[in-house]
Structure 1
Amino acid sequence: MRILKNLSKDKLAIMSLIVITLTIFVGIFAPIFAPHNPKEVNMGLRYASSSWEYLLGNDHLGRCILSRLIYGIRPSVLWVSVALLLSVVIGTVMGFLAGYFRGKVDVVIMRICDIMLSFPGYVMTLAIVGILGVGLVNILISFVFLKWAWFARVIRTSVMQYTELEYVKFAKACGISNIRIIYKHIVPVTLSDVIVLSSSSVGSMVLQISGLSFLGLGIQAPNAEWGMMLNEAKEVMFTRPELMLAPGLAIIIVVSSFNFLSDALQVALDPKLMSSKNRIKGSLALSRHQIGKNEVAK
């Protein structure tokens, strides 16, 4: 409730949340919202301009751009969210094990994470796709394979911080089981870190999958995906630049919404950031008031 109350004060966060919610809703019920079959080829409508029947026009195969844009939400946002969820679950479990039990468990898990994080993300993704082959599923597998290590390392640091608190040490001294301590005392305080990390990662993963699809390594034709739509439109980017506008704006709006929401969540979950933000707003308001008084005095 406190989070919702703090978020409600941020208009940009509310707008971002509405955009994300609507995008996910439209993507789930794409067959209802899409006016046409996204794979239907009609060469008679090749590069047709927008009309009442085809609001965003048609592409190089006469396919409905709006329908393909709506169906493109699924691989670009929904399946990316599924891959992120798996990464968060695996990373959270490993981070809790390493941060709470320490010792050999921590050493083994962190050495694995060091190996995973020693290579640039895009290089590892290209290597995995090169081994497994191109396609959406293989890219999502590479995301899970790489992202969990980053989550595990960050969450481990947070868990280690909270396990040093006095009430956690007291619970251990009282003989309470480790599982109960983690569930009752550690999970609630680290949940905010997990939420912020997850929300901040969605935008980058959407950009990555769109970039890989643009390069032809992601989802394959005739399926729709925003990055692949940009790839198909680049051939006529100077003669028909509007074909790149719809998928490009979709990527920018969705990624920006996730980033704005992530920043707002970080402020809403951290009282220190919230108070500092309020102080900044108060100082700006006071400065504007003082400037107004000086202008009136002149």
Structure 2
Amino acid sequence: MRIMKNLGKDKLAIKSLFVIVVIIIVGLFAPLFAPHDPNEVNMSLRYASSSWEHLLGNDHLGRCILSRIIYGIRPSVLLVLVALFISVLFGAVLGFLAGYFRGKADALIMRICDIMLSFPGYVMILAIVGIWGVGLKNILIAFILVKWAWFARVIRTSVMQYSELEYVKFSKAAGISDLKIIYKHLVPVTFSDIAVISSSSIGSMILQISGFSFLGLGIQAPNAEWGMMLNEAREVMFSRPELMLAPGLAIIIVVSAFNFLSDALQIALDPKLFTSKGKPHGKLAITKSNLQEKEVAN
């Protein structure tokens, strides 16, 4: 309740959350919102301008651009959210094991993370795609295999910090089981950190999946995806620039909404980051900068 109350004070956060919810709903129920079959080829409408029947016009195969934008939400946003959830879940489990139990478990997990993080993320993803082949499924699996180590390391640090609190030590001394301590005491206090790093990562993951699809490594034709639509419009970018406008704006709007919501969520979970005048405290800028630097490095 406190989080929603704090978020409600930020108009930009509410607008961003509204945009994200609408996009997710439209993506989930794409057949209801799309006016046409996104893969229906009609060469008589090749490069047709916008009309009441086709609001955003048609592409080089006469396919409805609006319908392809709507269906493109699924691979560009929804499946990325699924990959992010699995990465965070896997990283959180290992991060809690390493940060709470420490000892040999911590040493083993962190050495594996060191190995995974020693390679640039893009190089690792390209290597996995080179071995398994191109395709959206392989890209998403590569994301999970590469991203979990970064989440595990960040979450481990948070767990180690909160494990030193007095009430956690008292619970251990009272003989309460480790699983109960983790579930009742550590998960609630680390949730804010997990939520912030997750929300700050989704924007970069959407950009990455669109980038790989633009290069022809992600989803394959005739399926719709925003990055691939940009690639298809690349050949006529000077004669028909409007074909790149719709998918480009879709990517910008979604990534911006997630980034704005991430900033607002971090402030809502830690109101001390705001000064009395309502301006972000320096700690927010430092924390956000550190998260972005680590994400870029991966």
Amino acid at match of 1:258: F
Amino acid at match of 2:236: V
1:270 maps to what in 2? Answer: 270
Q: Matched residue of 2:233: which SS?
A: helix
How does the TM-score come out when normalised to structure 2?
0.93
Unaligned runs of 5+ in 1: 283-298
1:279 maps to what in 2? Answer: 277
Aligned ranges 1:242-253 → 2 under 5 Å: 242-253=242-253
- Is 1:142 matched up with 2:142? yes
1:285 maps to what in 2? Answer: none
Amino acid at match of 2:270: D
In 1, Cα distance between the equivalents of 2:88 and 2:212?
Answer: 22
Deviation at 1:260, TM superposition (A): 0.3
Q: 1:7-46 deviations in whole A, cap 9, x for unaligned?
A: 0000000000000000000000000000000000000000
Q: Matched residue of 1:53: which SS?
A: coil
Deviation at 1:280, TM superposition (A): 4.7
In 2, Cα distance between the equivalents of 1:34 and 1:281?
Answer: 41
Deviation at 1:174, TM superposition (A): 0.8
In 2, Cα distance between the equivalents of 1:175 and 1:29?
Answer: 49
In 2, Cα distance between the equivalents of 1:96 and 1:116?
Answer: 18
Deviation at 1:279, TM superposition (A): 3.0
2:6 maps to what in 1? Answer: 6
Deviation at 1:197, TM superposition (A): 1.0
In 1, Cα distance between the equivalents of 2:76 and 2:111?
Answer: 32
- Is 1:133 matched up with 2:130? no
Amino acid at match of 2:45: L
2:25 maps to what in 1? Answer: 25
In 2, Cα distance between the equivalents of 1:28 and 1:175?
Answer: 46
Q: Matched residue of 2:277: which SS?
A: helix
In 2, Cα distance between the equivalents of 1:123 and 1:281?
Answer: 39
Rg (Cα) greater in structure: 1
- Is 1:73 matched up with 2:60? no
Aligned ranges 1:54-69 → 2 under 5 Å: 54-69=54-69
2:229 maps to what in 1? Answer: 229
Deviation at 1:95, TM superposition (A): 0.2
Q: Matched residue of 1:217: which SS?
A: coil
2:292 maps to what in 1? Answer: none
2:50 maps to what in 1? Answer: 50
Amino acid at match of 1:3: I
1:185 maps to what in 2? Answer: 185
Q: 1:106-141 deviations in whole A, cap 9, x for unaligned?
A: 000000001111111111110000000000000000
In 1, Cα distance between the equivalents of 2:49 and 2:179?
Answer: 61
In 2, Cα distance between the equivalents of 1:215 and 1:30?
Answer: 25
In 2, Cα distance between the equivalents of 1:280 and 1:173?
Answer: 42
2:90 maps to what in 1? Answer: 90
In 2, Cα distance between the equivalents of 1:106 and 1:279?
Answer: 42
Q: Matched residue of 1:216: which SS?
A: coil
Q: Matched residue of 1:18: which SS?
A: helix
Amino acid at match of 2:86: L
1:293 maps to what in 2? Answer: none
1:38 maps to what in 2? Answer: 38
1:170 maps to what in 2? Answer: 170
Amino acid at match of 1:44: S
In 1, Cα distance between the equivalents of 2:51 and 2:163?
Answer: 61
In 1, Cα distance between the equivalents of 2:140 and 2:181?
Answer: 34
In 1, Cα distance between the equivalents of 2:103 and 2:174?
Answer: 22
Q: 1:33-67 deviations in whole A, cap 9, x for unaligned?
A: 00000000000000000000000000000000000
Amino acid at match of 1:226: W
Count of aligned pairs between the two proteins: 280
Q: Tell me how large the CA RMSD over aligned residues is.
A: 1.0
After superposition, the Cα gap between the structure-2 partners of 1:281 and 1:148, relative to the gap in structure 1 and judged at 3 Å, is: closer
Aligned ranges 1:98-113 → 2 under 5 Å: 98-113=98-113
Q: Percent identity?
A: 80
Which aligned segments of 4 or more residues in structure 1 are displaced greater than 6 angstroms?
A: none
In 1, Cα distance between the equivalents of 2:175 and 2:279?
Answer: 48
Q: Matched residue of 1:88: which SS?
A: helix
Deviation at 1:281, TM superposition (A): 4.8
In 1, Cα distance between the equivalents of 2:83 and 2:174?
Answer: 39
Deviation at 1:272, TM superposition (A): 1.1
2:295 maps to what in 1? Answer: none
Unaligned runs of 5+ in 2: 281-298
Q: Matched residue of 1:279: which SS?
A: coil
1:207 maps to what in 2? Answer: 207
Deviation at 1:271, TM superposition (A): 2.4
Q: Matched residue of 2:16: which SS?
A: helix
In 1, Cα distance between the equivalents of 2:215 and 2:151?
Answer: 27
